[in-house]
């Protein structure tokens, strides 16, 4: 039997990450390159590895065994306000629940930290439509720019 039509559930593990592994460095390089490719120059706010190592940012990766599936981060803007940063799913694992798992994890952490407000920025170009749908499914809505942002974003 070949198992056609059978969906295989993959176990995902979310880990706090120090950004030192070659897998995450490659995924973040792909992320920054893509953001420069599809976003206007003045609206590229993707952080590189050094930017994500700042003390006000907590960074996680999603794994299935030895496979890096994606990543995400939470930046503390102040004691009651956080910002979601660097949500990215590896190309080969898109539309498999990785983004949903990471976003759920970040929301749980924001709740644990007792944030009153959680913001993020995302592009308005068609390439960002899947991300906008994901965020909307979690209750995020458009809002005014926050912190130093000047582009479209959503807030929960």
Q: How far apart are CA 127 and CA 94, in angstroms?
A: 13
Q: 156 in a domain, yes or no?
A: no
Average of per-residue pLDDT across 11-31: 94
Whether 103 is covered by a domain: the verdict is yes
pLDDT tens digit sequence for 61-91: 999 999 999 999 999 999 999 999 999 999 8
Beta-strand runs (E) in 52-150: 57-64, 67-78, 81-89, 117-121, 141-142
Q: How far apart are CA 35 and CA 143, in angstroms?
A: 21
CATH number for the domain spanning 51: value is 3.40.630.30
Please give the residue range of the domain that contains residue 27: 13-118
Residue 129 predicted with pLDDT over 80: yes
pTM over the 0.75 mark = yes
pLDDT at 145: 62
In 3D space, the residue among 77, 80, 83, 69 whose CA is nearest the CA of residue 122 turns out to be 83
Residue 125 maps to a domain: no
Q: What are phi and psi of 43, to 5 degrees?
A: -110, 20
The structural domain count of the chain equals: 1
pLDDT score for 122:
82
**153: in domain:** no
61 within a domain of the structure (yes/no): yes
The tokens of 121 are what? 């920025």
């Amino acid at each position: 039997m070949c198992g056609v039509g059978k969906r295989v559930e993959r176990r995902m593990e979310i880990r706090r990450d120090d950004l030192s592994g070659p897998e995450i460095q490659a995924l973040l390089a792909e992320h920054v390159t893509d953001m420069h490719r599809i976003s206007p120059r003045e609206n590229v706010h993707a952080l590189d590895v050094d930017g994500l190592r700042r003390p006000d940012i907590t960074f996680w990766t999603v794994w299935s065994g030895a496979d890096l599936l994606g990543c995400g981060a939470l930046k503390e803007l102040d004691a009651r306000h956080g910002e979601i940063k660097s949500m990215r799913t590896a190309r080969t694992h898109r539309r498999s629940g990785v983004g949903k798992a990471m976003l759920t994890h970040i929301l749980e952490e924001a709740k644990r930290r007792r944030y009153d407000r959680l913001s993020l920025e995302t592009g308005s170009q068609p390439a960002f439509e899947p991300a906008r749908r994901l965020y909307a499914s979690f209750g995020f809505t458009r809002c005014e720019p926050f912190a130093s942002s000047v582009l479209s974003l959503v807030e929960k």
